């Protein structure tokens, strides 16, 4: 009877632990703003973000609210890493953030971490100029106008001019993946600056799961997986756009991004 009671007690404690993990509430903008208003130190806020399940509102309006709450750029950037935004960003969002005096650093971070589809034709650039959007931000928009899983670029075939015809003796670059790329050498980054000018290959993702697994170990496992997948495509770089950790009994780290090659 004593053994049965101990077993029952252990099962009850385990169920309570699992229930508490599932019931863990996501950290939101409101809690972060409240912590800031209560003069909790920046280091403690960053630690809270790192240790919590997060579901932040990092839309244009969400960022404006964070600015009103006097959150530092460092805290907001940590929020981007913990809970990457998924909505599609447009020129109007850029103008709205610029009008609200959101810092150029956060505006660029928003562009690099958010799926977007910008209009960068002459008329649109004039509108951005009239709205006094920072030139550095506009340059980011021009260099990377479309990004994200819901975007597509239409390729229109055109007849080459005589000057553009490749002579019979010219060698045509192979389109096959570079099989010599070692996965250990693949560079994983969250900064668009590190992949500027590289050839975009396509989207890529990886995940790692383990019951009550360490987030740090799972993150390393997921990074290794995404590097191996990138190398198999001939990529040399991966820009991470989404980095999520689901803290449940089956802990899971999920990564997604875009791979590039030199």
Beta bridge partners of 76: none
What proportion of the chain, given as a percentage, has pLDDT over 90?
A: 46
- pLDDT of residue 231 exceeding 80, the answer is yes
Domains of the chain: 26-147 (no CATH), 179-261 (3.30.110.70)
Backbone angles phi, psi at 123, to 5 degrees: -65, -40
Per-residue model confidence as pLDDT tens digits over 208-222: 888 877 888 888 899
Instruction: Please state the rounded mean pLDDT for residues 61-85.
Output: 93
pLDDT tier, 23 (very low <50, low <70, confident <90, very high otherwise): very low
Q: How far apart are the first and last CA of the chain?
A: 69
For the segment 153-174, the average pLDDT, to the nearest whole number, is 39
pLDDT tens readout for residues 107-146: 998 998 889 999 999 999 999 999 999 999 999 899 888 8
CA distances from 42 to 45, 78, 146, 150 (A): 5, 11, 34, 35
pLDDT on residue 248: 64
Top-confidence residue, 60 or 163: 60
**pTM for this prediction:** 0.52
Residue 132's pLDDT is 95
Please report the pLDDT score of residue 8 as a whole number.
Answer: 58
User: pLDDT confidence of 176, banded at 50, 70, 90?
Assistant: very low
Hey, how many other C-beta atoms are within 10 angstroms of the C-beta on 127?
15
Measured distance CA(231)–CA(239) in Å, rounded: 14
Q: What is the DSSP string of 90-132?
A: -HHHHHHHHHTT--HHHHHHHHHHS-EE---SHHHHHHHHHTT
Tell me what the mean pLDDT of segment 24-45 comes to. Answer: 92
For residues 197 and 60, the model is more confident at 60
Does the pLDDT value for residue 157 go beyond 60? no
- What is the per-residue pLDDT for 5? 59
How many helices and strands in the chain, by DSSP H and E? 10, 6
Nearest to 238 by CA among 169, 195, 188, 164: 188
């Amino acid at each position: 009877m004593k053994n049965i009671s101990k077993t029952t007690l252990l099962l009850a404690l385990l169920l309570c632990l699992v229930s508490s993990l599932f019931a863990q509430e996501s950290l939101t903008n409101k809690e972060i703003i409240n912590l800031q208003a209560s003069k909790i130190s920046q280091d403690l806020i960053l630690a809270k973000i790192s240790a919590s399940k997060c579901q932040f509102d990092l839309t244009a309006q969400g960022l404006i609210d964070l600015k009103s709450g006097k959150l530092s750029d460092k805290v907001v950037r940590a929020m981007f890493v913990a809970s990457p935004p998924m909505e599609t960003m447009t020129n109007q969002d850029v103008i709205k953030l610029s009008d609200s005096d959101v810092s150029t650093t956060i505006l660029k971070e928003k562009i690099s971490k958010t799926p977007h589809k910008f209009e960068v034709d002459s008329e649109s650039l004039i509108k951005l100029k009239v709205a006094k959007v920072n030139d550095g931000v506009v340059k980011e928009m021009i260099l990377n106008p479309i990004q994200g899983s819901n975007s597509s670029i239409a390729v229109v075939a055109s007849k080459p001019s005589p000057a553009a015809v490749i002579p019979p003796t010219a060698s045509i670059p192979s389109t096959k993946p570079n099989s010599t790329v070692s996965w250990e050498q693949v560079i994983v980054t969250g900064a668009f600056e590190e992949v500027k000018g590289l050839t975009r290959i396509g989207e890529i993702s990886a995940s790692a799961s383990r019951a009550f697994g360490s987030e740090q170990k799972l993150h390393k496992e997921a990074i290794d997986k995404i590097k191996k997948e990138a190398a198999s495509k001939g990529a040399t770089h991966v820009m991470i756009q989404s980095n999520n950790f689901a803290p449940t009994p089956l802990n899971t780290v999920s990564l997604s991004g875009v791979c590039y090659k030199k």
